[in-house]
């Protein structure tokens, strides 16, 4: 069955539930909202930067940042692929014991890194090293704490996507609606918070575009701003 996502983006920590329901048909699961209020819902999954999140790239970026002995991103990828750098062991040393789901996902991530290495070695890593050189480390300083929060959550829960967490923890949050043509579809409401001073709507549109592309789904952005709800004019597919 096709699925449609309502991607609700609110100023931190404002959530006009009644307005979203009346104006946009959003119906958040009560248990999900209660867990958010009680701190039981992983906070990194509510960050607008995690609308789209590639945990494999987050891990490699973090390793490159904390291991200055590497002046080549390609060499790091090669060493991870060849087991000279153990992802699970490094994450455990920094963030503690990995949960069972995270351990299972690490096996998939390691396979994906091997595929990356096979692709990168076609030109001996020149292209990726040009894009991901030593100068990336200073650029990562302002955002490395967010990557750390995301990785710590992954270690503890095994999740980096909100929709996957909701599917497993709150299946009642997925509802069935009928389209104008009579087709039934699944609908899921996702909630993200942002700092109003730093919201980049164009970047948000690109992230949602990537989400749509990856998930092969329909989605709309519902941006809450100054007590009003609006949809950006166009979602950009990256």
- The domains of the chain are located at 3-51+162-230, 55-157
pLDDT at 235: 60
Are 65 and 138 within 8 A, CB to CB? no
d(CA 40, CA 38) in angstroms, rounded, equals: 6
Residue 228: per-residue pLDDT: 83
The pLDDT tens digits along the chain (238 residues) read: 999 999 999 998 889 999 999 999 999 999 999 999 999 999 999 999 999 988 999 999 999 999 999 999 999 999 999 999 999 999 999 999 999 999 999 999 999 999 999 999 999 999 999 988 878 899 999 999 999 999 999 999 999 999 999 999 999 999 999 999 999 999 999 999 998 888 888 999 999 999 999 999 999 999 998 778 878 766 654 4
DSSP 235: P
Residue 185, Cα to own-chain centre: how many angstroms?
24
The pTM for the full model equals 0.89
Judge contact between 104 and 158, C-beta under 8 A.
Answer: yes
Q: What is the pLDDT of residue 233?
A: 61
Q: What pLDDT score does 237 carry?
A: 47
How far is 120 from 114, CA to CA, in rounded Å?
A: 10
Strand pairing of 184-194 and 3-11? Answer: parallel
């Amino acid at each position: 069955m096709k699925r449609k996502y309502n991607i609700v983006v609110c100023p931190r920590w404002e959530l006009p539930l009644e307005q979203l329901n009346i104006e946009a048909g959003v119906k958040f699961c009560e248990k999900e909202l209660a867990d958010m209020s009680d701190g039981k819902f992983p906070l990194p999954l509510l960050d607008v930067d995690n609308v789209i999140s590639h945990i494999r790239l987050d891990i490699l970026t973090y390793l490159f940042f904390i291991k200055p002995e590497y002046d080549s991103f390609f060499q790091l990828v090669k060493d991870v692929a060849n087991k000279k750098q153990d992802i699970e062991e490094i994450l455990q040393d920094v963030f503690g014991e990995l949960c069972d789901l995270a351990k299972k996902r690490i096996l998939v991530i390691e396979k994906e890194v091997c595929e990356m290495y096979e692709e990168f070695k076609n030109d001996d890593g020149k292209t990726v090293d040009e894009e991901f050189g030593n100068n990336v480390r200073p650029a990562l300083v302002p955002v490395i704490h967010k990557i750390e929060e995301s990785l710590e959550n992954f270690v503890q829960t095994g999740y980096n996507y909100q929709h996957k967490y909701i599917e497993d923890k709150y299946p009642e949050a997925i509802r069935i609606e009928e389209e104008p043509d009579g087709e039934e579809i699944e609908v899921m409401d996702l909630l993200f918070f942002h700092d109003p001073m730093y919201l980049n709507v164009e970047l948000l549109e690109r992230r949602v575009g990537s989400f749509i592309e990856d998930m092969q789904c329909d989605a709309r952005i519902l941006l809450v701003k100054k007590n009003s709800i609006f949809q950006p004019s166009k979602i950009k597919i990256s």
